[in-house]
Amino acid sequence: MKGKLIKSLFSIFLFFIFIFFLIYGFLNLNPLGSSEGIGEVINTPIPEEINSRKDDETSMLHSNQQDQDRLILFGDSHVHTTFSTDAFRMSLPIVQGDGTHPPADACNFARYCSNLDFFALTDHAESLTPDQWIESKESIRQCNSVSPQEDPDLTAFIGFEWTQAGNSPNTHFGHKNVIFPGIREEDLPVRPIGSNFTAAFRTLDWKLRYLPPILDFTNRQRYFDFYHSVENLAEIPNCNYSLKGKVNNRSKECLAVAKDPKELFSQLEEIQLDSIVIPHGTTWGIYTPPGEDFNLQLEKGFHDPKRQILMEVFSGHGNSEEYRDWRAVQKDEDGNVSCPKPISNYIPSCWHAGEIVLKRCVDKGIEQSVCAERASLARKYYLEGGISGFHAISGASNEDWINAGQCTDCFLPSFNYRPGGSAQYALALSNTLEETPLRFRFGLIASSDNHSARPGAGYKEFSRGNMSDWWGFKSSLFRDLFTSSTDEQLPKPLPVNLNELSPFNRFEMERQSSFFYTGGLMAVHAESRDRNDIWNAFKERRVYGTSGKRILLSFKLINPPNSLDPLPMGSDVEMSEIPIFKVTASGSLKQLPGCPDYSLLSLGSEEIERLCKNECYNPGNQRNLIEKIQIVRILPQLNSSEIVGDLIEDNWLSINCQPNPEGCELTFSDPKFKELKRDAVYYVKVFQESESTINGKQLRCEYDEAGNCQKVDICLGDDREETLQDECLSMSPALAWSSPIFIDFKKEE
């Protein structure tokens, strides 16, 4: 009785506080909230001898090769600061965030913590106010001004992320980063271009708006600043493009919007600035609806082969490279969607939803036919809910879902994997309705997609809560407020408008916590450290990606027609002779603990602890071993009737490397090329020896003798962890992916 009285009094207290803040909010009085600044860029360049040593590291790879004067530079083309609404939300104390991370943090981290050669700031365009866009550009200029002009220690680019998400496969185009080569005002757009997916960035549900500053009173200022940021953004109207030439209008008092890739490419064309568009997260089931098919974007206008030339295949949110022939949903010829049955290495989540309900029902002794009907209803509701379908099964724990929805044999996969968005699938597609078949010719890269202004965070596997996008509620009180009920109920339909769900509750964030990694790196073969040379490497696809370690990789066609010089990765060529290739790879340098002296002297001990978490890129003299080189061959479709899975040979050729600290080399050819008489795509995967890796085993399944996952040990990040210092380490190799070499078969005239 006493407990009920206390609960009632507490409810009354919350009600009056809610009324107070409601009135406060309606009056739009927020004197406690303030805008974040850009922070301070530290004005100390990296010592010249450090860059010289990094440049010398590539000489081993290029010895006795014609391009030995080219450098291999490492960077990160995908970094968010707390100018992005989702990054700001993740920085809040309610989810154990570590506070503000403005644009200057990205520069300082890249220079002194991860010691990168280049990075690009890509905050969500949907989140950036006109003032923040101006400030971001200024911060990037400050970052570049620290470097010596002739031999920069760090080159900073800027762009934005076009962040689109649809509730159905037919309306979903995904996320794309847009990067520009210059940093002068005239070299950059007046406004970033966002999508029409704005609800997640410009709105607050009432719980998030009013309860955190009450229940976490000591941190109330941080919440007020967050509300201030969202409210400022919500007040800015979208630009009206009904007037010709509006895109180039110098007025900054509106937000540019492109609802689909066609509009995005059209607006980029109109502003008449060079740019590169990089799709990413194309297999992320956290926001990608089941049934996604990248073929939707291989239409004239929806793909710009001049700009959309690179694809991010790995980030801190997982791998998007590998193709599998299963799907989360299946469609019939009329487009009707149903739930597929499990196969040996994949359990559709919609199917498992029915299994959860079936077990509940049977355990209660209910008639079998009734239980089967409930299971069928659960699968139906799950399908209708799309990415939020898990809400159809109220009360299901993370453990109840075991490994449903996951790619169980992929390298560090993204969560709820969508194979129809994978790089291998995209490279195999052809739109043969055009006079010249339209195809994706992507260079393959990796980056971090870090949301705490920490580019290149994968140099060491440590500090899971800061070097990855991990998050978890501060206490069970917040978790109960912002997640669904744990009461066991019958299957239930979801709201018609999924945006009604809290941003902490719309997605399977708790299960996804086991799929956050420290992130990847982008590598370039560049003539020098000069900005233009790095950009030219981007444009010519002389790029590759790694899962975070600085693996050295060269991949060439050594017998191109009419030339004595080999062609590097990213090249395309027409030939009829048997192609001959050469691959050379060396492992990354093993890391020493702590930070080098120049980092400590530049940042100081307090900033080293806050930003670098007392660990920096600090290479020793020993290299990790390369264990295997694997060649992927893809034969792009001749027509749409060809089954894509039959055209992708993920393990077309593979060699195990001898333990050699100098690396591994492979020369190979494709004798079948002349016989097949069709175009072919080749690229390389390099496997480095395994090391302890954050979330290296994702859900940490326990398997039975038949290979079925019976129990999971999810790597959470909240108060339910035995210790929040658990890094969730498991052994995993490191990978590097070369850009492809595209060979078109030259037919006899």
CATH number where 643 lies: 3.20.20.140
Q: What is the pLDDT of residues 418-439, one digit of tens each?
A: 999 999 999 999 998 877 789 9
- Indicate the residue among 452, 484, 513 that finishes a domain: 513
Are residues 92 and 148 located together in one domain of the fold? yes
SS3 string, 44-69, reads CCCCHHHHHHHHHHCHHHHCCCCCCC
Query: What are 338-372's pLDDT values in tens digits?
Result: 999 999 899 999 999 999 999 999 998 999 999 99
- For residue 694, is it within any domain? yes
Task: Please report whether residue 17 resides in a domain.
Answer: no
Same domain, 656 and 691: yes
Please report whether residue 18 resides in a domain.
Answer: no
Considering the domain architecture, whether residues 576 and 724 belong to the same structural domain is answered as yes
Give the burial class of 585: count Cβ atoms within 10 A of its Cβ; 0-12 exposed, 13-18 middle, 19 or more buried: buried
CA 486, CA 742: separation in Å to the nearest integer?
Answer: 52
Query: How far is it, in rounded angstroms, from Cα 347 to Cα 534?
Result: 43
Specify the DSSP element, H or E, that contains 742: strand 741-745
Same domain, 372 and 422: no
Residue position matching structure tokens 């806050």: 610
Please give the pLDDT value at position 179. 98
Residues 98 and 127 in one domain: yes
Residue 579 near residue 743 (C-beta atoms within 8 A): yes
pLDDT band at 722 (very low <50, low <70, confident <90, very high): low
Q: Are 229 and 209 within 8 A, CB to CB?
A: no
pLDDT, average across residues 274-298: 95
Can you read off the two tokens belonging to residue 234? Answer: 């919500």
713's tokens: 């040990």
Check residue 490 and give its pLDDT: 67
pLDDT of residue 725: 67
**Does the pLDDT value for residue 50 go beyond 90?**
no
Report the alpha-carbon distance of residue 663 to residue 659 in Å, rounded. 8
**Residues of the domain holding 343:** 330-404+473-513
Buried b (16+ CB within 10 A) or exposed e, 105-115: bbbbbbbbbbb
Tell me the C-alpha to C-alpha distance, in Å, between residue 704 and each of 135, 406, 413, 415.
55, 17, 22, 23
Compute the half-sphere exposure of residue 720: CA atoms within 13 Å on the CB side of its CA. 15
**Model confidence band, residue 7 (pLDDT cutoffs 50, 70, 90):** low
Same domain, 394 and 300: no
With cut-offs at 50, 70 and 90, classify the pLDDT of residue 292.
Answer: very high
For residue 73, the cross-strand partners are: 524
Same domain, 262 and 361: no
Domain count for the chain, please give it: 2
- Assess if residue 380 is contained within a domain: yes
Looking at the fold, whether 67 and 108 belong to one and the same domain comes out as yes
Which of 231-235, 321-325, 401-405 is predicted least confidently? 231-235
Beta bridge partners of 542: none
Mean pLDDT of 308-336: 94
Sequence-distant (6+) residues with CB within 8 A of 381 are: 353, 389, 392, 491, 492, 493, 494
Range with the lowest mean pLDDT among 6-20, 255-269, 461-475, 719-733? Answer: 6-20
Measure CA 533 to chain center.
Answer: 26
Does residue 67 carry a pLDDT above 60?
Answer: no
Per-residue pLDDT band at 411 (split at 50, 70, 90): very high
Mean pLDDT score of the chain: 89
- Region 726-748: mean pLDDT is 94
Give me the mean pLDDT over the 296-324 stretch.
96
Say yes or no to pLDDT of 30 above 60: no
Residue 25 in domain: no
Cα–Cα distance for residue pair 293/338, rounded to 1 Å:
16
Does residue 669 fall inside a structural domain? Answer: yes
Q: State yes or no: pLDDT of 532 exceeds 90.
A: yes
Q: Exposed, middle or buried, 665 (CB in 10 Å: 0-12/13-18/19+)?
A: middle
Per-residue confidence (pLDDT) for residue 27, from 0 to 100: 45
Quickly state the pLDDT bin for 146 (edges 50, 70, 90). Answer: very high
223 — pLDDT class (breaks 50, 70, 90): very high
Same structural domain, 305 and 287: yes
| Residue 313 burial by Cβ neighbours in a 10 Å radius (0-12, 13-18, 19+) | buried
Per-residue pLDDT, averaged over 550-566, amounts to 95
Q: Is the dihedral of CA 527, 533, 535, 540 positive or negative?
A: negative
pLDDT the model gives residue 10: 61
253 class by beta-carbon count within 10 Å (0-12 exposed, 13-18 middle, 19+ buried):
exposed
- Cα(650)–Cα(648) distance, rounded to whole angstroms? 6
Residue of 602, 606, 613 whose CA lies nearest to 46: 602
Report if residue 6 sits inside a domain. no
pLDDT of 245 reads 45
pLDDT tens for residues 467-507? 999 888 888 888 877 776 555 666 766 555 555 566 667 78
Instruction: Kindly state whether residue 397 falls inside one of the protein's structural domains.
Output: yes
Starting at the edge strand found earlier in the chain, the sheet holding 443-446 runs 318-319, 310-315, 443-446
- pLDDT of amino acid 273: 97
Residue 652: CB atoms within 10 A of its CB come to 16
**Average of per-residue pLDDT across 103-129:** 97
Q: Across-strand partners of 278?
A: 177
Final residue before a domain boundary, out of 513, 540, 569: 513
Is pLDDT at 282 greater than 70 in this prediction? yes
Contact assessment for residue 608 and residue 595, using Cβ atoms and an 8 Å cutoff: yes
- Residue 571, pLDDT above cutoff 90: yes
State the pLDDT at residue 64: 42
507 and 454 part of one domain:
no
Return the residue matching tokens 């999924």.
Answer: 498
Domain boundary among 452, 481, 513: 513
Q: What pTM, to 2 d.p., does this model score? A: 0.93
How many Cα atoms within 13 Å fall on the side-chain side of residue 247?
Answer: 19
> How crowded is the C-beta side of 149, counted as CA atoms within 13 Å?
0
**Helix or strand (DSSP H, E) at 103:** helix 103-108
What pLDDT shows up at residue 485?
Answer: 59
For position 510, what pLDDT does the model report? Answer: 86
Helix, strand, coil percentages in the chain from 3-state DSSP, rounded to 5 = 30, 20, 45
Q: Is the pLDDT of residue 337 over 80?
A: yes
For 168, 331, 338, the CA distances from 334, given in Å and listed in that order, are: 16, 8, 12
How far apart CA 347 and CA 324 sit, in angstroms, is 13
- What kind and span of H or E run contains 616? none
Q: Specify whether 658 is located in the same domain as 575.
A: yes
In the structure, what pLDDT confidence band is assigned to residue 734 with cuts at 50, 70 and 90?
A: very high
81 vs 484: which has the higher pLDDT: 81
| Euclidean distance between CA atoms 662 and 207, whole angstroms | 57
304 and 334, same structural domain? no
